[in-house]
Amino acid sequence: MKENKNALDRNFQKQMEIISPFELKNQLIDLADESIKKVTRTMLNAGRGNPNWIATTPREAFFLLGQFGLKECKRVMYMQEGIAGIPERDGIASRFEEFLKDNEKKAGAELLEKTYNYLLMEHAADPDTLVHEWAEAVIGDQYPVPDRILHFTEILVQDYLAQEMCDRRPPKGKFDLFATEGGTAAMCYAFDSLQENFLLDKGDGIALLTPAFTPYIEIPRLSRYQFNLIEICADKMTKEGFHTWQYRDEEIDKLKDPKIKALFVTNPSNPPSYALAPETVARIVNIVKNDNPNLMIITDDVYGTFIPHFRSLLAELPQNTLCVYSFSKYFGATGWRDAVIALHENNIYDRMIAELPKDKKEALNERYSSLTLKPEKMKFIDRMVADSRQVALNHTAGLSLPQQMQMSLFASFALLDKEDKYKAKMQEIIRKRLKALWDNTGFTLMEDPLRAGYYSEIDMLVWAKKLYGDDFVQYLKKNYEPVDVVFRLAHETSLVLLNGGGFDGPEWSIRASLANLNEKDYVVIGKGIRAILDEYAAKWSGKVPQPGSKD
């Protein structure tokens, strides 16, 4: 990186403060790489939330199912040149059952058998129809039909969301699902279709709970959208001066304004990684019922599985809420690009489209006229599918079949884990890493049942004040840029963290992912963070404090 020599220069840092923290990360990686060359140490990158674990059992089941799928194709037709046919439906279930018997000792067989029986017993699935969908899905020989999501994939994922996002207490009715290429695609589709269907127009007010995943900050400001972004800040503090990463009533009450048409939520939050407090959820529910009934809520709940008994706004306000859920973090599957958009069958999105002025309804009927003789009857979620392929390519819309098959097995794996062994271990891994990080900063981490812990946001000014006093805080503000912390960590210790200010969090906060490094690495990161703070203090006081001193 050519700018490495200027990394600690304030003017350069001021320029860097305006770019996305995910782009700044690349600069920090280059800087840490340069640091490595000077001394013998390893770069530790806690900037990105890609987990360093995978769920093995659903993958074992997928690969075993792949063997069955290939066997079925070769049964129909096989040529020595490497050409086979495609699966046939008639009698395929009995052949699948025989395959399971022959392979009962192989990894993944148990999950396949239990998933098969679950769908037969709990959902009265037709055996041949079910297994034929699976065989074609794992082989990937067809376009997605239905294009929104495969029939049995939708059933399994509906049950999974009821269990994981609704704490096994889903609202009445069902959720329609749209399988997407990861949560990022879901976000893009949501923004586009809300605008294409006149549910949001340029200049409309949208609220965002902050700190937030940066695309939710950046996308609304693009020229394509130009929404009026109102931030609702998690600035609630304890009397001792610690962040709770929750929202004051005055902030939530901004939602009473009917000019705010949509609320974008990451729950649990990113980067603080805390779920909304029950009293905050209750307040939002009350506001929707009494003040702003047409408030559209778009909630990104990817980290919900890292909190016991998590309950999404999807469960509390099903008619108003569009939920984005990704399988990527919990199952270690960012490369699979598996996510869904969930929308209740009875929702305000469909109702508001039906109530649009005549000219807008005519424009939408024209837009979707190539797809159906009654475009006015199209559900919003089906419009999203069409919009995802510019309408004209709707016939090739949908997530690839192998991706949907793996998603099905991720969902069934969790559904059939009646003792929640996988979830308990996932949460334990995160808790241990979080403890290793904070124990080695010397800072105090309060117990909080609402903390997911997938990320940790550390406000350096809070600890500067606690450890060294108000004068030291003023010294830092006067002499350094907030991003100096992450630049100094990369430059001096080869540690890559992101600046919390880039997520519209406290300017002097830093964000560490607890997912992508091992427990011992967070010991190093914690010590590195504390060393940087003590280094500032030494320059301020003119003396070097004792190692680990808290005075």
Residue 489 contacts residue 529 (beta carbons within 8 Å): yes
> Backbone dihedral region of 76: left (phi > 0), alpha (psi from -120 to 50 degrees) or beta?
alpha
Chain-centroid distance of CA 328 in Å reads 8
Both tokens of 271, joined, read 């980067």
The C-alpha angle 430, 170, 182, rounded to 5 degrees, equals 50
Distance CA 542, CA 531 (A): 16
Distance CA 96, CA 210 (A): 50
Chain-centroid distance of CA 348 in Å reads 24
Q: Specify the residue for token string 């030291």.
A: 472
DSSP string computed for 211-229: S--HHHHHGGGSTTT--EE
Both tokens of 462, joined, read 């809070």
pLDDT at 2: 43
Chain-centroid distance of CA 75 in Å reads 41
In the chain, the domains with their CATH numbers are 2-41+421-541 (3.90.1150.10), 56-139 (1.10.20.110), 151-394 (3.40.640.10)
Distance CA 82, CA 67 (A): 15
Q: 129 Cβ partners below 8 Å, 6+ apart? A: 89
Distance CA 153, CA 289 (A): 33
Residue type, position 80, single letter: Q
pLDDT at 494: 85
How many Cβ atoms from other residues are within 10 Å of residue 213's Cβ? 22
pLDDT at 544: 46
Instruction: Please give the DSSP secondary-structure letter assigned to residue 40.
Output: S
The phi, psi pair for 505, rounded to 5°, reads -95, -170
Instruction: Please give the DSSP secondary-structure letter assigned to residue 544.
Output: P
Residue 25 contacts residue 48 (beta carbons within 8 Å): yes
Per DSSP, helices labelled H in 223-312 are 249-252, 278-290
Both tokens of 58, joined, read 């659903």
pTM (predicted TM-score):
0.92
Distance CA 452, CA 309 (A): 11
Distance CA 157, CA 146 (A): 15
Both tokens of 260, joined, read 């705010």
Residue 327 contacts residue 339 (beta carbons within 8 Å): yes
Tell me the pLDDT of the chain (551 aa) as tens digits.
344 556 667 777 776 666 677 666 666 667 666 655 444 445 678 877 899 999 999 999 999 999 999 999 999 999 999 999 999 999 999 999 999 999 999 999 999 999 999 999 999 999 999 999 999 999 999 999 999 999 999 999 999 999 999 999 999 999 999 999 999 999 999 999 999 999 999 999 999 999 998 899 999 999 999 999 999 999 999 999 999 999 999 999 999 999 999 999 999 999 999 999 999 999 999 999 999 999 999 999 999 999 999 999 999 999 999 999 999 999 999 999 999 999 999 999 999 999 999 999 999 999 999 999 999 999 999 999 999 999 999 999 999 999 999 999 999 999 999 999 999 999 999 999 999 999 999 999 999 999 999 999 999 999 999 999 999 999 999 999 999 999 998 888 888 899 998 899 999 999 999 999 999 999 999 999 999 999 999 999 985 444 444 44
pLDDT at 31: 63
Give strand ranges (E) for 27-93.
44-45, 78-79, 83-84
How many Cβ atoms from other residues are within 10 Å of residue 240's Cβ? 9
